[in-house]
Chains A and B, each alone.
Chain A
């Protein structure tokens, strides 16, 4: 209740900032933030709203990056079709992996997603089409819909922003739909959802596919922005990063993953010259958050707001 009027306000403010941002910040960095914000939001749909911790989301992100890089670069597809191809590959992969994952629960499910992601990593690394350790580089930036020239980084930024907003709106809609309510019910009390007659496995699978597909949009877009698909996109480190972003921002909050993605990408950018210290810092952030701030930044802010307004009403 408390959040409702303000999320419109926050949303508008964020939108204004997002539209003006490329005048102040390097657009490629902003696009990276947007891609990871979308990735983390898609991941959060599963962790925060369905209660499934996937440790393998890199396979959807990276798989889509490879699919779009391959279709655009090697097969000569237009940019928008390449992104759609990446999304389709990620969603299909989500369907297959999700099907097997939901046969187990809880911690086992997490280990299964990690194992399948590792399998995808090795498969792509060895596959003849992937360029091995080098990945697929120099993906051309073809005009979007035939008219928008995305070799201009500002134009590309607005394309990426549009993709992000469309997907974010879809996530927002999903969370607030009856379908989203059932997902939350499953998260909070699965046996009860079953006893109410919901086919829990179908709901979980659909959430899994949706999350995988949206992660795919993020990965495919990232491949267009950076003009490459690299093997790091598929590495378990990427799966860990998206968890960290969600945890930093706040699991199960709408804006948390955005804040978390901006925070982590910004930190990586700052520490870029320090090599292994990025990994150490990320590990320390993980440990600190789990010990003292499990609700994340957005969770903390909304707790504070709730406390202040309660004091006012008393």
Chain B
């Protein structure tokens, strides 16, 4: 059997791909957090719950409505994003002029409600979601499942698509301008409140999309959001919230590092992201890509 650094190659490469898949989740989620924070000045604690909602919406569509993965991939983000828009319109918009900790606490409460209800309904063990692309490539040194091989480029397309919209289009220019100075942008006749609502809906839809994409790989469980969101917070602290590219790069790299930790130092795999966060805080307090506002 081939060995790389004393580790069997299939194990190493398998974890590397799983790391990239997890990294894709981190990247999409921290991207959503960054986009929302930029416009709303709210840290969306419900992001993990919305990720979980995305996965469960796909599961419910499959099991209750008979709609397959490809439908869910488009419909679940729309449904969850619409729920996010309602949340923003009814509640969140009243908190923008308050201390930003209230936005965090409100979304934390919303996350508790959603997770509690799903735990009540589904228990905490989790449900299986059928792999839409069974089978895979036999590469000789390892077996590469089609689905995992496709998730990573798909996530990259989503991330860079978002980056392109925000950094290179007219709509993105409005968004960036409204982030800098909402009053002035309003004076130019742009409907900033609608822009804010749509931004929140978009960020939530991104979280739900990440949830749908993760559903065939891991168990669909009410706990999946809470576990991932804290890691994503660490990613955001490392990468900074100001840079879209920073969120993408940090997300993928930390996923890979976590995957490598599972191979070389399994007992550190849960904590490695937080250790890196501590080191970054020590050496470069403002984060790798960010300047503090």
Query: How far apart sit A107 and B237, CA to CA, in the bound complex (Å)?
Result: 10
Set A115, A240, A279, A284: member contacting B237, Cβ < 8 A = A115
Is B212's beta carbon under 8 Å from chain A?
no
Given the known inter-chain contacts A122-B270, A126-B267, A287-B91, please indicate yes or no for A110 contacting B285, CB distance below 8 A.
no
Instruction: Flag if A279 contacts B230 (CB, 8 Å).
Output: no
Is A247's beta carbon under 8 Å from chain B?
yes
Instruction: Flag if A118 contacts B230 (CB, 8 Å).
Output: yes
Contact with A along B58-100 (1 / 0, CB 8 A): 0000000000000000000000000000000001001100101
Query: How far apart sit A106 and B43, CA to CA, in the bound complex (Å)?
Result: 11
Set A115, A277, A278, A283: member contacting B230, Cβ < 8 A = A115
Set B91, B100, B110, B273: member contacting A283, Cβ < 8 A = B110
Instruction: Flag if B281 contacts A112 (CB, 8 Å).
Output: yes
Contact with B along A87-131 (1 / 0, CB 8 A): 000000000000010011111101110111011001100100000
Instruction: Flag if B277 contacts A240 (CB, 8 Å).
Output: no
Is B157's beta carbon under 8 Å from chain A?
no
Is B109's beta carbon under 8 Å from chain A?
yes
Q: Which of B112-135 contact A (CB under 8 A)?
A: 112-117, 119-120
Is A275's beta carbon under 8 Å from chain B?
yes
Contact with B along A264-296 (1 / 0, CB 8 A): 000000000001111110111111001100100
Contact with B along A157-183 (1 / 0, CB 8 A): 000000000000000000000000000
Is A254's beta carbon under 8 Å from chain B?
no
Given the known inter-chain contacts A115-B230, A115-B277, A294-B98, please indicate yes or no for A108 contacting B110, CB distance below 8 A.
no
Residue of A nearest to B94 (CB): A291
Centre residue among B91, B114, B277 by max chain A CB count within 10 A: B277
Query: How far apart sit A291 and B285, CA to CA, in the bound complex (Å)?
Result: 33
Q: How far is the CB of B120 from chain A (nearest CB, A)?
A: 4
Contact with A along B220-235 (1 / 0, CB 8 A): 0000001000110110
Q: Across the A-B interface, how many residue pairs have beta carbons closer than 8 Å?
A: 114
Given the known inter-chain contacts A108-B237, A280-B113, A287-B113, please indicate yes or no for A236 contacting B230, CB distance below 8 A.
yes
Residue of B nearest to A287 (CB): B109
Is A214's beta carbon under 8 Å from chain B?
no
Q: How far is the CB of A208 from chain B (nearest CB, A)?
A: 14
Q: Which of A287-313 contact B (CB under 8 A)?
A: 287, 290-291, 294
Given the known inter-chain contacts A240-B112, A283-B110, please indicate yes or no for A107 contacting B100, CB distance below 8 A.
yes
Instruction: Flag if A286 contacts B281 (CB, 8 Å).
Output: no
Centre residue among A112, A243, A290, A294 by max chain B CB count within 10 A: A290
Query: How far apart sit A14 and B215, CA to CA, in the bound complex (Å)?
Result: 53
Instruction: Flag if B105 contacts A243 (CB, 8 Å).
Output: yes
Residue of B nearest to A251 (CB): B101
Q: Describe B's contact surface by its main secondary structure.
A: helix
Q: How far is the CB of A260 from chain B (nearest CB, A)?
A: 13
What bracket does the count of chain B residues touching chain A fall in? 35 or more
Set A105, A112, A122, A247: member contacting B277, Cβ < 8 A = A112
What bracket does the count of chain A residues touching chain B fall in? 35 or more
Residues of chain A contacted by B117 (CB below 8 angstroms): 276, 280
Is A53's beta carbon under 8 Å from chain B?
yes
Query: How far apart sit A236 and B270, CA to CA, in the bound complex (Å)?
Result: 15
Residue of A nearest to B123 (CB): A276
Query: How far apart sit A294 and B109, CA to CA, in the bound complex (Å)?
Result: 14
Query: How far apart sit A107 and B103, CA to CA, in the bound complex (Å)?
Result: 10
Is B163's beta carbon under 8 Å from chain A?
no
Q: How far is the CB of A238 from chain B (nearest CB, A)?
A: 13
Query: How far apart sit A100 and B236, CA to CA, in the bound complex (Å)?
Result: 16
Instruction: Flag if B237 contacts A111 (CB, 8 Å).
Output: yes
Query: How far apart sit A300 and B91, CA to CA, in the bound complex (Å)?
Result: 21
Residues of chain B contacted by A278 (CB below 8 angstroms): 116
Instruction: Flag if B106 contacts A122 (CB, 8 Å).
Output: no
Residues of chain A contacted by B110 (CB below 8 angstroms): 283, 287
Query: How far apart sit A152 and B104, CA to CA, in the bound complex (Å)?
Result: 43
Residues of chain A contacted by B214 (CB below 8 angstroms): none
Q: How far is the CB of A46 from chain B (nearest CB, A)?
A: 12
Query: How far apart sit A287 and B112, CA to CA, in the bound complex (Å)?
Result: 10
Residues of chain B contacted by A105 (CB below 8 angstroms): 292
**Known contacts A284-B109, A291-B94; can you find 6 more A-B pairs with CB under 8 A?**
A103-B285, A107-B101, A108-B292, A115-B230, A286-B106, A294-B98
Q: Write 8 A-B pairs (CB below 8 A) sorted by A numbering.
A: A103-B281, A115-B274, A276-B120, A278-B116, A280-B116, A283-B116, A284-B113, A291-B91
Cβ-closest 7 pairs across A and B: A286-B109, A283-B112, A279-B116, A283-B113, A119-B274, A280-B116, A103-B285
Where the two chains meet, the residues of A that have a C-beta atom closer than 8 Å to any C-beta of B are 53, 100, 103-108, 110-112, 114-116, 118-119, 122-123, 126, 236, 240, 243, 247, 275-280, 282-287, 290-291, 294
